[in-house]
Amino acid sequence: MSETLTPAIPRPTPGLWTLLREDVDCVFQRDPAARSRFEVITTYPGVHAVLMQRVANRLWRAGLRFPGRFLSWLARLFTNIDIHPGATIGRRFFIDHGAGVVIGETAEIGDDVTLYHGVTLGGTTWNKGKRHPTLGDGVVIGAGAKILGAIVLGDQVRVGANSVVVKDVPAHRTVVGIPGKVVTRLDAVAGDKLGINLDHHLIPDPVGKAIACLMERIETLENRLRERGEPVDGQCSICEADDLCGNQQKTRRHG
């Protein structure tokens, strides 16, 4: 597939009631705890914040800046979710749990995006231009992750919990770490009928993979030493992790 990134998201805006109805309905696709629309509308702070931001954004775009900011402040007061009224948010946006989420003024969010609690879509400059991230469609960002700067995350990108992403990420990648690094590519993502994959916790372990590669290399070198008749003692009498630290502990004792 192409390595190009998802561009900015200028697209037709549906009617406000259509957006609000979709924001409520999408909860049932991504949260098995949701039981009824009444429960979602009355008890989900993430839904409250999004619904209020939709209205605040209409006020903001109409030039009613203070009413938009005031409504945004009320949403933050009642939900602990801070979304600037100038942020551009696509359809079926879901914030799960929601506490501590921050979304900046120039952030652009595609359709079917899911954020978990503690996520920040923040800026890295005081310039008044574009300074917040752009997220493509179907992006899932794990709890506590920070997406910083005027960067682009392509469609279906998944960001692991507590990661810090400061560079562009092409579509269909999984990013983990501080700073965030791409650890896998998923061209065929299994998801629901909308193609949404919430399994952002099923991520590779790059540290474990590196250790496994090192162990394989050590085993190869030890086998070569054995073939040459050299003594190889990989056992460790100090700790239980013989396979990992045997040779290192032996070196320290005799060094």
Same domain, residue pair 38 and 131: yes
Burial class (CB in 10 A: 0-12, 13-18, 19+), 222: middle
Hey, is 95 helix, strand or coil?
strand
Q: Read off the CATH number of the domain in which 158 is found.
A: 2.160.10.10
Same domain, residue pair 108 and 218: no
Same domain, residue pair 213 and 199: no
pLDDT at 1: 41
Same domain, residue pair 149 and 110: yes
Residue 188 domain-assigned? Answer: yes
Q: What is the pLDDT along the chain (255 residues), one digit of tens a residue?
A: 445 555 445 566 677 788 888 888 888 888 788 888 888 888 888 889 999 999 999 999 999 999 999 999 999 999 999 999 999 998 898 998 888 999 999 999 988 899 999 999 998 888 888 999 999 998 999 998 999 999 999 988 899 888 999 999 998 888 988 888 888 766 544 555 555 555 555 566 666 677 878 888 888 888 888 888 777 765 544 455 555 555 554 544 555
Cβ count within 10 A of residue 57: 23
pLDDT at 39: 87
Same domain, residue pair 158 and 217: no
Sequence letter at residue 2: S
pLDDT at 202: 57
DSSP assignment, residue 73?
Answer: H
Hey, is 208 helix, strand or coil?
helix
Residue 50 domain-assigned? Answer: yes
Same domain, residue pair 164 and 249: no
User: Which residues constitute the domain of residue 232?
Assistant: 207-254
d(CA 172, CA 153): 9
pLDDT at 230: 77
pLDDT at 2: 45
Same domain, residue pair 167 and 69: yes
Tally of structural domains, the chain: 2
Contact call for residues 116 and 141 (beta carbons, < 8 A) = yes
Q: Which two tokens stand for residue 32?
A: 């098995």
Contact call for residues 74 and 55 (beta carbons, < 8 A) = no
**The overall pTM is greater than 0.85:** no
